[in-house]
Structures are given as structure tokens and as C-alpha cells.
Amino acid sequence: MKFFSKSNLFKVSTLILLSGMWMTSCYYDKESDLPKDPDNNPTDTCDLSQAKYGLKIQKILADNCVVCHGNGLQEGNVRLDSHEKVTIQVNNGKLLKSISHQAGASPMPYGLPKMSDCNIAMIEQWIKNGALND
């Protein structure tokens, strides 16, 4: 029996190729290579000191809510495209309940997954800070 027959050579080559692919596919991620959230922050950080309407909250609401709750369309008679309109939902408790998917409010964004934990925490912190137009 010849070791270098075409059949054995093919099997050995395939084994070496697959082993090489398997070995190079295993590595440890560096923090800089980890997925980032839409605001380009590493997903494990959430700077709540930035919980200000003009700095973060307005953008979060624009990205997640204003398509259905803006000037042109007000689903459920709710508008979230201005600080004045947002504070109505803050004061009646519906904003935080909706985005947190809590009982007593429709889960939002409608038909989509819940917002990121950071975005929810950012809005919650902004509300705790008085929901200012800052």
C-alpha cells in the first residue's frame, strides 16, 4: 500500500486544510474589535452623565420613535418630536413604561425589539434629572 496514493493524499490535504482553518478561527477579541452600539460606544459602557435632551435624548427618540410619533404621524395621538410633547409622556409615566416594556403601556417601539439597555437607562436618568430641555 502506497502512502502517497491519490486517495490518501486528498484525505491528508483536506485534513490539514480543515485543521488550519479551525486553528485560525479561534482567537480572543480585543475590546477595540468588539461590536459597537449605534452611537459608536463600546456596548459595555453607558455614560449617563450625557443624559441631556439636546445631547442624547432627542437623538434616541428621533432614531426610535419619531417615525410613528412625529409631526407627520401621531400614532395613538402621541407626539415625541419636541421637548414639550415628550414631557407630556414623561409626566403621565407612559414614556418610560413603554420603552421598558412594563405593564400599563404599549411596548415600544411597536413590533420591534426593546431599545438598548443604555438608551433606556439614558432616558430614565434624564427623567430622574428632571427631564430638562438641556
Q: What is the pLDDT of residue 113?
A: 94
Residue found under cell 412594563? 102
Q: pLDDT for 33-89, tens place per residue?
A: 555 555 554 445 899 999 999 999 999 999 999 999 998 888 889 999 999 999 999
Spatial CA neighbour of 112 closest among 79, 78, 63, 58? 63
Residue 111 lies in a domain: yes
Spatial CA neighbour of 80 closest among 63, 65, 59, 93? 65
Residue 73 lies in a domain: yes
DSSP state of 74: B
The set of cell numbers assigned to 1 is: 500500500
The tally of CA atoms less than 13 A away on the side-chain side of residue 6 is 0
Residues 6+ apart with CB under 8 A from 55: 134
Q: Which domain holds residue 56?
A: 46-127
Residue 91 lies in a domain: yes
Q: How many domains does the chain have?
A: 1
Angstrom distance (rounded) from CA 95 to CA 118: 15
pTM exceeds 0.85, yes or no: no
Q: pLDDT for 75-126, tens place per residue?
A: 889 999 999 999 999 999 999 999 999 999 999 999 999 999 999 999 999 9
